[in-house]
Amino acid sequence: MTTHQRNFPSIDPTKLERLAETAVRVGLRLQPGQDLFLTAPVAALPLARLIVEQAYKAGAGLVTPIFSDEEIALSRFRFAPEASFDRAPGWLYEGVARAFAANTARLAIVGEDPMLLAEADPAKVARANKANSIAYQPALEKIAGFDINWNIVAYPTVSWAKRVFPGDEDEVAAGKLAEAIFAASRVDGDDPVAAWTAHNSALGRRTEWLNSKKFHALHYSGPGTDLTIGLADGHDWQGGAATAKNGITCNPNIPTEEVFTTPHARRVDGHVVSTKPLSYQGTLIDGIAVRFEAGRIVEATAARGEDVLRKVLDSDEGAARLGEVALVPHSSPISKSGLMFFNTLFDENAACHIAIGQCYAKCFVDGDKLTPEEIAARGGNKSMIHIDWMIGSDRIDIDGFDANGARTPVFRKGEWA
């Protein structure tokens, strides 16, 4: 075993086991006989092993893991021939899509170095990302359409921990990131399953209130931000546990603090600035400022990573339109930790955010019965990308407007009004 594969003593083994159990029993709600497709960085092997053990104990049929490695990923950008950056393993993703069609559950362990590709050629990174997004589309459709139960959970790899705690030794940094992950994932208490039940019902009360209001649009105001986001016709707010089309109620993200819905792809106007950096496939994009007209981003700048941002916005017709709007109070536990994780799974749960690209079909009333054409007609966006970025802070106010223009305060100074 290499140092990458051992669990530092600073990573509490009891909490790590609870995280594995929570991922399988709460995150996935894996069913007896159900197959599982698992992806993880090699450095997350200790958690991957515990998850596979929990999966089989829960009655999993067949668990199929695929591991990635940072050095191998970098090798490509250093040595692969120029023409290869427009290619991706479509054969693999077609197989994954077939597995999802046959009711295989999906679990991803994240923990890669968020700045892994910072030194790589941005043009090659953009081409590789685009080729990968196109090839991944058949599988992504089944995840975005919520055909099956899926879950993302995090492991404190050293390369990631050193980005969050750059001043600490490897083992100390990994231990600190582990504690932050365990707290955010609600596995630091004795009964994580009960903690998640309580958390899911709290999020459920928020979505019930928002759904009862049937807002036509949300208006955001704050420093550098004056933005109106129209909400899709027949949109449905969701948060916490949700039921996939295969009938299984799962918690796709661990952690999660957000309630979210589908904005109207053609009714977004005004300007907005990002409030936290965004780590996109190994590149850090920071200081984003964009202006929307009739739903489309017509001006975009970034203090860092602008090149990558522009290429992302050019990916396809829907890449410059919104696919998600999410509300997270500034006092969320992840926000209170004060940490910048450089990982969307965590950072998106520290602040209100929006996502450019693909919308979630499940964020419509009776979304599972709508055709792609009906979703588009209601204002749902279509794209091969889905990228969240943070626009919330303790200085943001949000109002909800009904179709007649009547105003209801939703957020004041970053908190539920």
Footprint on this chain of Zn ion (rule: CB under 5 A):
258, 260, 324, 326, 348, 355, 388
> Phi/psi zone of residue 111: left (φ > 0), alpha (ψ -120 to 50 degrees), beta?
left
379: nearest Cα among 215, 267, 212: 267
- Shortest Cβ 63–Zn ion spacing (Å): 26
Give every CB contact of residue 246 below 8 A, 6+ residues apart in sequence. 103, 147, 148, 149
Nearer to Zn ion, 70 or 388 (CB): 388
Q: How far is residue 283's CA from residue 164's CA, in Å, rounded to a whole number?
A: 15
Burial of 245 (0-12, 13-18, 19+ CB in 10 A): middle
| R_g (Cα) of the chain, nearest Å | 20
Torsion angle, CA of 238/241/243/247, rounded to 10 degrees? 180
Q: How far is residue 152's CA from residue 129's CA, in Å, rounded to a whole number?
A: 20
- Shortest Cβ 357–Zn ion spacing (Å): 9
Look up residue 193 and give its two tokens: 């399953």
235: nearest Cα among 359, 387, 398: 359
Cβ-count burial 57-76 (b if 16+ within 10 Å, e if not): ebebbebebeeeebeebbee
Nearer to Zn ion, 15 or 235 (CB): 235
Nearer to Zn ion, 7 or 133 (CB): 133
135: nearest Cα among 165, 103, 108, 95: 95
Nearer to Zn ion, 215 or 260 (CB): 260
Contact of 139 with 95, CB cutoff 8 Å: no
| Placement of tokens 């970025």 in the chain | 389
Nearer to Zn ion, 43 or 385 (CB): 385
77: nearest Cα among 303, 305, 281: 281
- Shortest Cβ 253–Zn ion spacing (Å): 8
- Shortest Cβ 36–Zn ion spacing (Å): 23
- Shortest Cβ 387–Zn ion spacing (Å): 8
In this structure, the strands spanning 386-390 and 397-401 are: unpaired
Nearer to Zn ion, 70 or 347 (CB): 347
Contact of 230 with 263, CB cutoff 8 Å: yes
- Shortest Cβ 360–Zn ion spacing (Å): 8
Nearer to Zn ion, 26 or 363 (CB): 363
- Shortest Cβ 29–Zn ion spacing (Å): 20
- Shortest Cβ 263–Zn ion spacing (Å): 12
- Shortest Cβ 320–Zn ion spacing (Å): 16
- Shortest Cβ 5–Zn ion spacing (Å): 31
Q: Residues 206, 209, 183, CA angle at the centre, nearest 5°?
A: 5
Nearer to Zn ion, 48 or 359 (CB): 359
Contact of 327 with 300, CB cutoff 8 Å: no
Look up residue 368 and give its two tokens: 């599972």
Nearer to Zn ion, 180 or 327 (CB): 327
Q: How far is residue 328's CA from residue 350's CA, in Å, rounded to a whole number?
A: 7
Nearer to Zn ion, 10 or 344 (CB): 344
Nearer to Zn ion, 147 or 324 (CB): 324
- Shortest Cβ 115–Zn ion spacing (Å): 21
